[in-house]
């Protein structure tokens, strides 16, 4: 998953004093709560989980730890949680990739999101941005990028954090909307993909807006557009795709999911705990560094969001015939 800015990494040790919330007597059984992150450490999913773990520990009265189980576009960690006891002690930080992309791209996916998980709460929707690296210093704006792509179909490259990742598919969605074709160069994670962009080894990338802003601040890349519906406070001078004539707006969600058949009182408790943890000073600072906002939802609202994303991302995956198995 996406690499984070140094600003967000710094917030892990800033402002994480536990909120003094008191919930009703916990229906959770004794034990440690595991937040399973289906990606390597250092990406946005991992950092959000670690930011949540401290305030959730104080709120729940249970130690909350983060466990990284990376691989297969998030499906290894997701499968682990789907097969775990339905007691609320093992939770997944699920994302657009695990719940919307994989069902469309994997014929042998070991889980079905709507069957094998109980939605708990949304954390946030992460805005994305399109950036070019030093290999394309002559490209000053989105118009120039699209013109270069049209002049040489398939010649401009773009990196991503893996085949079938939201980074790849978001670029496909831009290509579909603007009638351009780029050459995909997948990497094994967000960090090496972003490093290749900054080093000029690839021409462009779709990445989280916070990470794009950090690279641009260091002078390595130029951010051409955000994929958000409105301009972002973190990148106020960067126009959206829609402002520049490309009819596309999208983001990637980050949420908490429990195994199917987790008791309703446990889901309700966890929903409230996540909602309160999202308002802790440390989490708010982490989210600000990623141009994101806390977005607490009911389990039913999160289920609807997953269904909407499955339709939006699945259509592009099927059209491009992307297969991960």
pTM of the model: 0.87
Instruction: Quick: pLDDT tens for 260-300.
Output: 999 999 999 999 999 999 999 999 999 998 899 999 999 99
Which CATH number covers residue 162?
3.40.190.10
Residue 114 confidence (pLDDT): 97
Instruction: Quick: pLDDT tens for 177-228.
Output: 999 999 999 988 788 899 999 999 999 999 999 999 999 998 889 999 999 9
Residue 242 corresponds to which tokens in the numbers above?
């829609």
Residue 233 confidence (pLDDT): 94
Instruction: Quick: pLDDT tens for 20-42.
Output: 444 447 799 999 999 999 988 88
Q: Is residue 1 part of a domain?
A: no
Q: Find out whether 226 and 209 touch, Cβ atoms under 8 Å.
A: yes
Please, what sign has the CA dihedral across residues 311, 76, 51, 18?
A: positive
Same domain, 151 and 182: yes
Residue 50 confidence (pLDDT): 96
Decide which of 43 and 308 is more confident: 308
Which CATH number covers residue 82?
3.40.190.150
Same domain, 298 and 201: no
Torsions phi, psi for 90 (to 5 deg): -125, 120
Mean pLDDT of 157-185: 93
Same domain, 177 and 268: no
Query: Which domain range does residue 79 map to?
Result: 6-126+252-320
How many structural domains does the chain have?
Answer: 2
- What is the distance between the alpha carbons of residues 43 and 9, in angstroms, rounded to a whole number? 10
Q: Find out whether 261 and 81 touch, Cβ atoms under 8 Å.
A: no
């Amino acid at each position: 998953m996406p690499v984070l800015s140094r600003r967000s990494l710094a917030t892990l040790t800033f402002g994480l004093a536990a909120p003094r919330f008191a919930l009703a007597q916990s229906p959770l059984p004794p034990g440690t709560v595991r937040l399973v992150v289906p990606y390597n450490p250092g990406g946005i999913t991992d950092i959000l989980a670690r930011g949540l773990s401290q305030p959730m520990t104080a709120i729940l009265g249970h130690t909350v730890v983060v466990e990284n189980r990376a691989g297969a576009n998030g499906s290894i960690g997701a499968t682990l949680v789907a097969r775990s006891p339905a007691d609320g002690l093992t939770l997944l930080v699920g994302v657009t990739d695990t719940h919307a992309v994989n069902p469309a791209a994997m014929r042998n996916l070991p889980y079905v999101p709507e069957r094998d998980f109980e939605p708990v709460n949304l954390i946030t929707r992460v805005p994305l941005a399109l950036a070019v690296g030093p290999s394309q210093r002559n490209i000053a704006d989105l118009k120039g990028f699209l013109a270069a792509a049209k002049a040489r179909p398939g010649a401009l490259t773009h990196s991503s954090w893996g085949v079938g990742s939201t980074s790849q598919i978001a670029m496909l969605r831009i290509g579909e909307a603007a009638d351009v074709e780029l050459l995909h160069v997948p990497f094994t994670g967000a960090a090496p993909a972003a490093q290749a962009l900054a080093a000029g080894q690839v021409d462009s990338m779709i990445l989280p807006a916070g990470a794009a802003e950090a690279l641009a601040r260091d002078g390595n890349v130029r951010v051409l557009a955000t994929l958000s519906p409105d301009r972002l406070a973190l990148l106020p001078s960067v126009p959206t795709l829609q402002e520049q004539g490309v009819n596309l707006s999208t983001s990637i969600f980050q949420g908490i999911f429990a195994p199917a058949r987790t008791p309703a009182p446990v889901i309700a408790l966890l929903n409230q705990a996540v909602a309160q943890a999202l308002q802790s000073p440390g989490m708010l600072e982490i989210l600000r560094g990623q141009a994101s906002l806390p977005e607490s939802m009911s389990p039913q609202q999160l289920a609807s969001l997953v269904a909407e994303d499955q339709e939006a991302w699945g259509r592009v995956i099927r059209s491009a015939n992307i297969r991960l198995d």
